[in-house]
Each structure stands twice: as structure tokens, then as C-alpha cells.
């Protein structure tokens, strides 16, 4: 297991290097630069700006400069948020996104898994149709529709919860963003769990278990659940990486200071260093999450073993 983990981590390094290089050059290909804004600058001032940020150097040289700094752990200063380094911005924003995203996934699992199981067990019944119908709505309705509705209804009209803001992570401020973010995940997880359970319940070893005379409870909870969780697990790996790096929409609508907006705003602002920083960060997270998922696989499915 340990050797497998180490091998995977080593393999990740060339992958990350390729990702970083492609992202770097891709960002520069996009027309427009960090200083192309409504206020058009006189040429001398523009020259000063480009020089201050080394943007007047040939591109390969800028790349080497960036990689050199990266290897020393320096992501550089943000082009747009000049009083902060990229590291500071990510370190300040990530815990917030992690909290919102983590709670959303937790909520999604707590609600989605039982719903999926119930729907699978009571297949083609009213319960099943209701769960699946709601799940379909949850997947189809985008969260930039749900989130403002939540803010309007629960924040403005009913006044039960704040309409936005982080407020240091106070509980009332967490509720709406977490719920809004989790709805789509609940829907996906419920559907996946249902499909997976149905498949597992029809497999040979379950028939054997029933033939052996085990009661239904044992069949489901001791034998069916674990293999049924496998597809959900593969989905969760990258999904968690995606969610904990923040949802742009949720963060923007509720004013949450996470790192989600850096991905999009960074690109729109042509904030090269910030975008590169978030790309590296996200890349590392994906590698880690995939590794964790694969390790959990072997815990769930005794047929899967590494290092042999």
C-alpha cells in the first residue's frame, strides 16, 4: 500500500509539470492582458507596467522565471490584488471554500445516500418516483437559479437567514450557501446510489446470501452497501476536489471569500500568477483525491489489491 502510494505520488509530478506548462502558455495565448481595461493607458505608462511585471521579456524567459520561483515555493504576487501574494490569497480563501464545500458534501452524503438506497429498495413505488423526480430537478436546475431564490426567499422576504456574507463563518451565514451547493450533489448521489444498489442487489452473491437464509437487513447492510458504494466513490473523488475549490456561483451570490472566484475572475482579469496558482493547487488536489479514492476502493472491495 505504501509503495503504491509513493509510486502514485511520484507519477503525479510529471503530470503536474505538463499541466502547469500547458496552462502557462495557454493563458498567454488568450488575447488581452492584465492591463487591458476601460482606462486606456498612455504608452509610456503601459511600458512601465509591462516592465514592472516582467511582461516585456520573451515568453520562454518568463516561463523559466516562473518555474524557478515555483520550485522555491513562490507563486508570485497577484497581478490584480497587488497587496497580496498568490500564496496568501489561496491560503486565506481555501479554508473557507473547504468548509462550505466539505459541509455541502457531508450534507449530500447524509441526505443523498439514504434517499438512493430507499429508492432502490422500494423500486418503482411512489417513494422511488418522488426521489428520482426531485433528483432530476436538482440536477437540471442550475445553482445560479437556486442560490438567488434562496437568498431572496429566506434572506430578504422571510428574513430567517442573512442574505449573504461570510461573517467569519457564523452558522446562520453557512446555511444557505451549503444547502444551495449541496442540492445538485444530493441529486447526483441519490441517483447513482439507486442505480448502483439495484445492480448490486441483482448480482449473484446477493442471491447466494439470500439463499443462505440471511435476513433482508443483513443482506442489504452487510453485503450490498459496500460494493454499491464503489461507483459513488469514484464520482466523489474529483467531485470533492471540485467542490472544495469553491463554486464560483455560490461564492459570488452569497459573498463567500473562497477561492472559487479566483479561477474565473483570475482568468477574466488575466491575472496570470493567480490563475497559475489556482491551477497548480487544483491539480495537486485532484491527484490527492484520486489517490485517496483508489486506496478506499481496496478497502471497500476485497478483490482490489495493489502491490502484488
Partner 1 sequence: MISKHHKMMSRYLLAALGGIALGAMAVPAQAFTVDIANGAEPGSLDPQKTSGVWETRITRALFERLVTYAADGSLVPGLAEHWEISDDGKQYTFHLRDAEWSDGEPITADDAVFALRRVLEPAIANQNANLYYPIVNARAINAGEKSPDTLGVEAVDAHTLRIRLTQPTAWFLQALAMTEASPLPEHVLANADDGWIKPGDTVSSGVFTLSQWQPQSRIVVTRNPHYYDADQVSVDEAVFYPIDDANAALNRFRTGEMDIAYSSVPSSRFAWARENLGDALRVGPLTAEYFYMFNLHDGQPLADRRVREALNLAVRRDVITDQILGQGQTPSFWYVPRNTANAPRGDLDFADMTMDERMARAKALMQEAGYGPDHPLRLRLNYNTLEDHKKIAVAVAAMWKPLGVEVELINSEAAVHYATIREGNFEVARYGMVATINDPFDFLNAYADNGSASQSSGYHDADYDALVAKSTRELDPQKRRQLMTRAQQRLLDGYALLPLYDYVSVHLVSPAIQGWEINPMDVHPLRYLQESEQ
Site of interaction with partner 1 (CB under 8 A): 30-34, 36-45, 48-49, 51-52, 80-84, 88-89, 92-93, 148, 151-152, 155-156, 159, 162-166, 251-258, 261, 268-270
Nearer to partner 1, 156 or 211 (CB): 156
Closest CA to 36 of 296, 272, 307, 279: 272
Query: Between residues 13 and 51, which has the closer beta carbon with respect to partner 1?
Result: 51
Q: How far is the CB of 82 from partner 1 (least distance, A)?
A: 4
Angle made by CA atoms 248, 192, 232, in degrees to the nearest 5: 75
CB of 302 to partner 1, least distance (A): 46
Q: How far apart are CA 113 and CA 75, in angstroms?
A: 39
| CA–CA–CA angle 18, 24, 26 (5° rounding) | 100
CB nearer to partner 1: pick between 262 and 297:
262
Using CA atoms, how far apart are residues 176 and 155, in angstroms rounded to an integer? Answer: 9
The nearest distance, CB 100 to partner 1, in angstroms, is: 13
Instruction: Report how far residue 17's alpha carbon sits from residue 49's, in angstroms, rounded to the nearest whole number.
Output: 29
Shortest CB 85 distance to partner 1, Å: 9
In whole angstroms, how close is the CB of 142 to partner 1 at the nearest point? 15
- d(Cα 192, Cα 241) in Å, to the nearest integer? 18
C-alpha to C-alpha distance for 290 and 9, rounded to whole angstroms: 11
Nearer CB in complex with partner 1: 85/196: 85
Nearer to partner 1, 40 or 215 (CB): 40
Amino acid at each position: 500500500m505504501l509503495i503504491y502510494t509513493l509510486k502514485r505520488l511520484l507519477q503525479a509530478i510529471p503530470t503536474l509539470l505538463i499541466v502547469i506548462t500547458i496552462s502557462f502558455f495557454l493563458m498567454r495565448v488568450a488575447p488581452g492582458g492584465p492591463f487591458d481595461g476601460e482606462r486606456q493607458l498612455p504608452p509610456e505608462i503601459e511600458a512601465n507596467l509591462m516592465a514592472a511585471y516582467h511582461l516585456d521579456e520573451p515568453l520562454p524567459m518568463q516561463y523559466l522565471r516562473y518555474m524557478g520561483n515555483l520550485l522555491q515555493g513562490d507563486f508570485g504576487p497577484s497581478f490584480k490584488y497587488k497587496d497580496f501574494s498568490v500564496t496568501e490569497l489561496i491560503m486565506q480563501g481555501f479554508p473557507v471554500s473547504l468548509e462550505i464545500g466539505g459541509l455541502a458534501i457531508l450534507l449530500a452524503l447524509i441526505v443523498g445516500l439514504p434517499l438512493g438506497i430507499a429508492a432502490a429498495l422500494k423500486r418503482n413505488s411512489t417513494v422511488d418516483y418522488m426521489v428520482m423526480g426531485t433528483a432530476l430537478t436538482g440536477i437540471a436546475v442550475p445553482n445560479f437559479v437556486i442560490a438567488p431564490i434562496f437568498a431572496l426567499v429566506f434572506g430578504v422576504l422571510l428574513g430567517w437567514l442573512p442574505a449573504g456574507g461570510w461573517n467569519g463563518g457564523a452558522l446562520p451565514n453557512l446555511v444557505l450557501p451549503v444547502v444551495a451547493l449541496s442540492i445538485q450533489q444530493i441529486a447526483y448521489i441519490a441517483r447513482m446510489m439507486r442505480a448502483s444498489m439495484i445492480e448490486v442487489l441483482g448480482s449473484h452473491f446477493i442471491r447466494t446470501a439470500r439463499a443462505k437464509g440471511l435476513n433482508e437487513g443483513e443482506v442489504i447492510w452487510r453485503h450490498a452497501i459496500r460494493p454499491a458504494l464503489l461507483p459513488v466513490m469514484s464520482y466523489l473523488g474529483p467531485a470533492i476536489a471540485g467542490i472544495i475549490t469553491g463554486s464560483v456561483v455560490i461564492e459570488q451570490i452569497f459573498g463567500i471569500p473562497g477561492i472559487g472566484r479566483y479561477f474565473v475572475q483570475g482568468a477574466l482579469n488575466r491575472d496570470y500568477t493567480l490563475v497559475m496558482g489556482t491551477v497548480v493547487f487544483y491539480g495537486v488536489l485532484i491527484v490527492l483525491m484520486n489517490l485517496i479514492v483508489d486506496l478506499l476502493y481496496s478497502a471497500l472491495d476485497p478483490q482490489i489489491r495493489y502491490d502484488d
